[in-house]
């Protein structure tokens, strides 16, 4: 009889997903490219007025990050579900919720982290400067893992359903709203000179709360989906 | 009773355009829901008897 | 010892089987047979704990597996319909990851030996699994059994798309597992070439 | 039948609930009609015209009860969903399924009447106020739950997946409410607030509470009736709930 230690199992899950991402580098590149393109469309639509761009910057960039997360949610469990890896993951003798954290972490590394790293550049496009750029990056760093965790619930619930791509968006977007509000709020309050600490700490609270609940809900949803 | 006439009642102090649609749509929604449930039950029990 | 008590199960709203009582003693194999759609896969998934029964209990050493949870998962190796391997990874990588996740030894040497035992030569070890044939993929999956140190094996159609050579490798491996006191449950269409005194059959009918 | 449930679930099986609900519906319906009629009478003929808002405030008699019902029903639905998940009890999933459309209807009603009230008092059909926004998101959540259920064919999975979503949503509702509230205050200073309470006459409050009771009774009647639909629809499936036409399991050596 054998049993992997918790950290061993967690590392195994993360390593496999990152290895797969390395084999599919174009997927990662695509989500980065998506973010850049969508963010660049707004100045074209709204007009190049710097003052206007600065006011909408936080909202636009946050919504873009949110969409990028949403687009990549389909990849989170579907492939594993189709080739039977998910089934085997459920049979790993460690708490499924912890393994879900591993999967979500690698999803974030692939789809969220690139957006965070890119955000200063995108912020410059919108005329943000100095402190606001830092706040934007920090808020995305805190917020995108939360998005991935909440999104995982939706991805697990809609696993293997027809039209699941659209459905997951409908289910998950209302749950994203607090993160969007606090994230965009942090940037605009720093622009307004109020100080972004309040929003950032609320964003941190959202992160902790979803870390406490979302993996567990995702684990339950996965077991339901695989019955 | 503060209403002098039916017309006054319907005018709702000039807000009739807002008050009556509110109650009308409420009645419509609730009545519609009752009818929908009724029909659903009828349809369900009918096909149930067939089988 | 592994047993089911008055087990019943359904798929969707269709009742598949009910009141199944079987006991699998160490060193014995239970062959689950029946036509397509008779519920063999559901039965096996239920024994894994992936599917919850409608009624009845599944007992491992006298304890309900629902209560044991992860303790029970640590006792079994399941090979399902789906291979559970990643097309993009090589056979070696696939096997290493699954052995590591099972808590088995996952060093390169052991993994290569297991792959050779199922008849996969070194030539394919470093290719992405995607390019392998159906039977070769199945062999990669089954190679997990050469690494497994768990007492209970649950195998769903393990012989499907295997050639004669691979079938005999697998039969030998099952036999040596049984002789070590292991337990095996197999869903299959085929006769298994094992001494009859260690096999019992469970026939599911519609 | 589920044998994992506690014994009293045997008595709350769908077959037992069906006739019981059938007997209760007419009473609830009758009380609902009577109470709503009284509420409307007091609301339109006894309650005086509001000093500041004129007669537009009378929308409150449908708006506030609808808004309350939308939230109550969500919480009740989530509780049933939780019981269903916890005890693996089929009737409580059915109850949750029966509540969702009524909850969505009241949410829509609250939004519609709210916007009807907002136009004359605030001068806008829609304001991004904390209450309005969270009510809108509540509607999205109801729709999401209904959509998720309808896109899953397997009943057991549909029951349990939508239950998980309902429970996740119930955590989200207060978070949304406060987030939107803080978002408003952080940005725009004081936001629009409903300051009717202190100036309200006794008869106004009475009418509102009576309407509230009427809406409760209506909800009972309608959800029980829908519960009966659900029971019949599911019974149509072969082998439902009955002690199974047992396929033989032959054990051989």
Instruction: For D149-177, write each residue's pLDDT tens digit.
Output: 999 988 889 999 999 999 999 988 888 78
**Residue A227: closest CA among chain D residues belongs to which residue?**
D157
Instruction: Name chain C contacts of D250, Cβ cutoff 8 Å.
Output: 203, 205
Q: What is the pLDDT at residue A3?
A: 80
The predicted pLDDT at position B1 comes to: 58
| Mean pLDDT lowest among A52-56, A147-151, C86-90, D5-9 | D5-9
Give residue B31's pLDDT band: very low, low, confident or very high (50, 70, 90).
Answer: very high
Q: Which residues of C touch D239 (CB under 8 A)?
A: 10, 13-15
CA nearest neighbour of A153 among A138, A141, A168:
A168
Task: With beta carbons under 8 A apart, name residues in chain D contacting B4.
Answer: none
* In the predicted structure, residue C126 carries a pLDDT above the cut 50: yes
Q: Which domain holds residue A142?
A: 6-226
Cα C102 from Cα C147, distance rounded (Å):
9
Distance from CA of B39 to the nearest CA of D (A): 9
Q: What is the rounded CA–CA span in Å between residue D115 and residue C193?
A: 76
Residue A125 covered by a domain: yes
Nearest CA to A145 among A95, A206, A199?
A: A206
Which tokens hold the place of A91? 């049979």
Q: Is A83 on the interface with C (CB under 8 A)?
A: yes
Q: What is the ipTM of this complex?
A: 0.90
Pick the more confident residue, D32 or D175.
Answer: D32
D232/B1 CB distance under 8 A:
no
Distances from the Cα of A4 to the Cαs of A220, C64, D22, D162, in angstroms?
22, 22, 55, 33
Task: Provide the shortest C-alpha distance from residue A143 to chain D (in Å).
Answer: 14
Chains C and A touch (3+ CB pairs under 8 A): yes
Beta-sheet strand order (sheet of C63-64): C14-24, C2-11, C55-60, C63-64
Residues of C in contact with D155 (CB under 8 A): 12-13
Q: Which residues of C touch A92 (CB under 8 A)?
A: 73, 101-102
* Domain assignment present for A162: yes
pLDDT at D78: 96
The C-alpha of D172 sits at a distance from chain B's nearest C-alpha, in angstroms, of 27
Chain C: touching chains (3 or more CB pairs < 8 Å): A, D
CB-based contacts of A79, cutoff 8 Å, min separation 6 = A85
Provide the 10 A C-beta neighbour count for residue A71. 16
Is it the case that residue D235 has pLDDT exceeding 80? no
Q: What is the pLDDT of residues D81-118, one digit of tens each?
A: 999 999 888 899 999 999 999 999 999 999 999 999 88
Cβ-defined contact of D164 to A157 (cutoff 8 Å): yes
Name every chain A residue with its beta carbon within 8 A of the beta carbon of D148. 157-158, 167, 171
Is residue C15 less than 8 Å (CB to CB) from chain D? yes
Q: Do B12 and D56 touch (CB under 8 A)?
A: yes
Cα C151 from Cα C28, distance rounded (Å): 11
Search chain C and give the residue with CA nearest A223.
C50
Pinpoint the alpha helices (H) of chain D: 8-11, 14-41, 60-87, 90-122, 130-150, 155-188, 202-235
SS3 per residue for D96-158: HHHHHHHHHHHHHHHHHHHHHHHHHHHCCCCCCCHHHHHHHHHHHHHHHHHHHHHCCCCHHHH
What distance in Å separates residue C104's CA from the closest CA in chain A? 6
Give the tokens for residue D14: 């769908």
Whether the CB-CB separation of C10 and C16 falls below 8 Å is answered with yes
**How do C152-156 and C183-187 pair as beta strands?**
parallel
Question: CA of B12: which chain D residue's CA is closest?
Answer: D55
Least CB–CB distance from A213: residue in D151, D156, D171: D171
D200 pLDDT band (50/70/90 cuts)?
A: low
Whether C84 and A85 have beta carbons less than 8 Å apart is answered as: yes
D248 CB neighbours in chain C (<8 A) are 205
Q: What is the largest CA-CA distance in chain A?
A: 67
Contacts of B38 in chain D (CB under 8 A): 225
Residue C5 is predicted with a pLDDT of 84
Q: Helix, strand, or coil here: C156?
A: strand
The answer to whether the beta carbons of residues C111 and C99 sit under 8 Å apart is: yes
What is the pLDDT at residue D12?
65
Rounded distance between C-alpha atoms, residue D105 and residue D107, angstroms: 5
Instruction: For residue C206, give the 3-state DSSP assignment.
Output: coil
Q: CB–CB of A220 and D140 under 8 A? A: no
Residues 32-71 of C with CB under 8 A from A: 48-52, 70-71
For D250, half-sphere exposure in the C-beta direction (CA atoms, 13 angstrom radius) is 8
Please write the tens of the pLDDT for every residue from D17-26.
888 888 999 9
Q: In this predicted structure, what is the pLDDT of residue A1?
A: 53
pLDDT of residue A128: 87
Q: What pLDDT is stored for residue D83 in this prediction?
A: 94
Nearest to C70 among A8, A24, A93 (CB): A93
Give pLDDT, residue D252: 38
Domain count, chain A: 1
Per domain, the residue ranges of chain B are: 6-50
Q: Tell me the two tokens of residue A50.
A: 């710097």
Interface test with C, best of D159, D249, D250, D251 (most C CBs within 10 A): D249
List C-alpha distances in Å: D139 to A61, C188, D110, D246: 26, 50, 10, 44
Per-residue confidence (pLDDT) for residue D187, from 0 to 100: 47
The predicted pLDDT at position D250 comes to 40
Task: Tell me what pLDDT residue B49 has.
Answer: 63
pLDDT band at C206 (very low <50, low <70, confident <90, very high): low
Closest CA of chain C from D72, distance in Å: 32
Q: Are C186 and C79 in contact (CB under 8 A)?
A: no
CB-CB: which of A162, A202, A225 is closest to D151? A162
Which chains, if any, share at least 3 CB pairs under 8 A with chain A? C, D
Whether residues A217 and D187 touch (CB distance < 8 A) is answered with: no
Q: Does residue A169 or residue D189 have the better pLDDT?
A: A169
Q: Minimal Cα distance from D215: which residue of B?
A: B30
Query: Does pLDDT of D243 surpass 50?
Result: no
Structure confidence at residue D199 (pLDDT): 56
How would residue D2 be classed by pLDDT, with cut points 50, 70 and 90? very low
Judge whether residue D251 has pLDDT over 50: no
Pairing of strands D249-252, C199-204: antiparallel
Strand C183-187, strand C14-24: pairing: unpaired
Q: Is A1 within a domain?
A: no
Residue of B36, B25, B30 whose CA lies nearest to D32 = B30
With 0-12 CB in 10 A as exposed, 13-18 as middle and 19+ as buried, what is D43? buried
Taking the C-alpha atoms of residue D191 and residue D122, their distance in angstroms, rounded to an integer, is 11
pLDDT at D163: 96
Q: Residue A168 in contact with residue A162, Cβ under 8 Å?
A: no
User: Chains touching chain B at 3 or more Cβ pairs under 8 angstroms?
Assistant: D
Render pLDDT for C173-183 as a digit per residue (tens, 0 to 9): 999 999 999 99
Rounded average pLDDT over D132-153: 93
- Residue C135 · residue C83 · CB < 8 Å: no
Residue with the two structure tokens 């609930």 = D17
Q: For residue D6, is pLDDT > 50?
A: no
- pLDDT of D223-233, one tens digit each? 999 999 999 88
List chain C residues with CB under 8 Å of D153. 12
Distance from CA of D224 to the nearest CA of C (A): 23
Contact across the interface for A161 and D168, Cβ inside 8 Å: no
Domain boundaries, chain D: 17-236
Residue D40 has pLDDT above 90, yes or no: yes
- For the stretch D114-132, pLDDT in tens is 999 888 888 888 888 778 8
Using alpha carbons, select from D47, D43, D97 the residue that is nearest to residue D73. Answer: D97
Contact between D186 and A174 using a beta-carbon 8 Å cutoff:
no
pLDDT at D33 over 90: yes
Range from C12-16, C26-30, C191-195, D33-37 that averages highest in pLDDT: D33-37
Closest residue in chain A to residue C83, using alpha carbons only: A84
Q: What pLDDT is recorded for position D70? A: 94
Mean residue pLDDT of chain C comes to 89
Asked whether residue D242 carries a pLDDT value surpassing 60, the answer given is no
* D4 pLDDT higher than 80: no
Three-class secondary structure of residue B50 per DSSP: helix
- CA–CA distance, C180 with C144 (Å, rounded to integer): 17
User: Are A147 and A202 within 8 A, CB to CB?
Assistant: no
B38 contacts D44? CB cut-off 8 A: no
Q: How far apart are CA C44 and CA C47, in angstroms?
A: 5
Q: Over 50: is that where the pLDDT of D239 sits?
A: no
Residues (pLDDT < 70) of chain A are 1
Closest CA to D200 of D37, D60, D36: D60
């Amino acid at each position: 009889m054998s049993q992997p230690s918790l950290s061993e199992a967690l590392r195994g899950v993360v390593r496999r997903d990152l290895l797969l991402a390395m084999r599919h580098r174009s997927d990662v590149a695509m989500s980065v490219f998506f973010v850049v393109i969508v963010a660049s469309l707004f100045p074209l639509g709204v007009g190049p007025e710097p003052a206007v761009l600065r006011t909408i910057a936080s909202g636009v960039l946050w919504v873009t990050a949110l969409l990028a997360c949403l687009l990549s949610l389909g990849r989170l469990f579907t492939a594993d579900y189709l080739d039977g890896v998910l089934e085997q993951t459920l049979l790993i003798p460690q708490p499924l919720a912890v393994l879900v954290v591993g999967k979500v972490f690698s999803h974030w590394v692939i789809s969220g982290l690139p957006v965070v790293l890119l955000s200063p550049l995108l912020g410059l496009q919108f005329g943000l400067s100095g402190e606001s750029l830092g706040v934007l990056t920090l808020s995305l760093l805190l917020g995108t893992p939360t998005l991935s965790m909440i999104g995982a619930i939706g991805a697990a619930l809609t696993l293997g359903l027809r039209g699941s791509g659209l459905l997951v968006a409908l289910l998950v977007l209302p749950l994203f709203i607090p993160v969007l509000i606090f994230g965009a709020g942090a940037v605009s309050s720093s622009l307004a000179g109020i100080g972004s600490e309040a929003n950032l700490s609320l964003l941190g609270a959202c992160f902790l709360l979803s870390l406490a609940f979302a993996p567990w809900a995702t684990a339950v949803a996965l077991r339901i989906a695989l019955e | 009773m503060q209403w002098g006439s039916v017309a006054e009642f319907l005018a709702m102090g000039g807000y009739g355009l807002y008050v009556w649609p509110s109650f009308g749509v409420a009645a419509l929604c609730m009545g519609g829901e009752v009818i929908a449930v009724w029909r659903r039950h009828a349809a369900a029990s009918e096909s149930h008897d067939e089988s | 010892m592994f047993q089911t008590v008055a087990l019943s199960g359904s798929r969707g709203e269709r009742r598949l089987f009910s009141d199944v009582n079987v006991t699998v003693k160490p060193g014995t194999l239970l062959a689950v047979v029946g036509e397509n759609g008779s519920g063999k896969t559901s039965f096996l998934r239920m024994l894994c704990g992936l599917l919850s029964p409608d009624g009845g209990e599944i007992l491992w050493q006298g304890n309900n597996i629902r209560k044991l949870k992860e303790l029970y998962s640590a006792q079994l190796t399941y090979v399902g319909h789906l291979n559970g391997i990643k097309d993009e990874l090589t056979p070696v990588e696939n096997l290493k990851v699954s052995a590591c996740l099972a808590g088995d030894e996952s060093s390169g040497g052991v993994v290569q030996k297991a792959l050779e035992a199922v008849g996969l030569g070194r030539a394919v070890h470093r290719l992405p699994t995607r390019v392998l044939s159906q039977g070769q993929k199945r062999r990669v999956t089954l190679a997990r059994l050469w690494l497994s140190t768990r007492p209970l094996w649950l195998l769903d159609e393990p012989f499907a798309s295997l050639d004669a050579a691979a079938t005999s490798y697998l039969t030998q491996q099952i036999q040596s597992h049984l002789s070590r006191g292991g337990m095996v449950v197999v869903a299959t269409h085929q006769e298994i070439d094992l001494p009859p005194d260690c096999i019992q059959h469970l026939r599911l009918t519609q | 039948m589920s044998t994992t449930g506690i014994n009293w679930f045997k008595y709350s099986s769908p077959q037992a609930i069906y006739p019981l609900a059938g007997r209760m519906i007419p009473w609830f319906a009758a009380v609902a009609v009577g109470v709503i009629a009284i509420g409307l009478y007091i609301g339109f003929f006894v309650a005086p015209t509001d000093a500041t808002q004129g007669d537009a405030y009378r929308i409150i008699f449908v708006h506030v009860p609808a808004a309350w019902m939308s939230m109550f029903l969500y919480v009740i639905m989530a509780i049933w969903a939780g019981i269903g998940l916890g005890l693996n009890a089929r009737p409580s999933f059915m109850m949750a399924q029966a509540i969702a459309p009524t909850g969505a209807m009241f949410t829509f009603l609250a939004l519609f009447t709210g916007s009807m009230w907002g136009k004359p008092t605030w001068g806008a059909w829609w304001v991004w106020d904390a209450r309005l926004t969270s009510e809108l998101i509540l509607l999205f959540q109801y729709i999401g739950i209904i959509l998720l259920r309808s896109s899953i064919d397997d009943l057991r999975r549909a029951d349990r997946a939508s239950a998980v979503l309902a429970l996740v949503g119930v955590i989200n509702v207060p978070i949304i409410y406060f987030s939107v509230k803080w978002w408003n205050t952080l940005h725009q200073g004081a936001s629009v607030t409903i300051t009717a309470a202190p100036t309200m006459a006794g008869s106004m409050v009475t009418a509102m509470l009576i309407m509230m009771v009427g809406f409760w009774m209506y909800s009972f009647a309608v959800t029980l009736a829908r519960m009966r639909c659900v029971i019949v629809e599911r019974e149509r499936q072969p082998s439902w709930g009955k002690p199974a036409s047992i396929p033989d399991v032959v054990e051989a050596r």
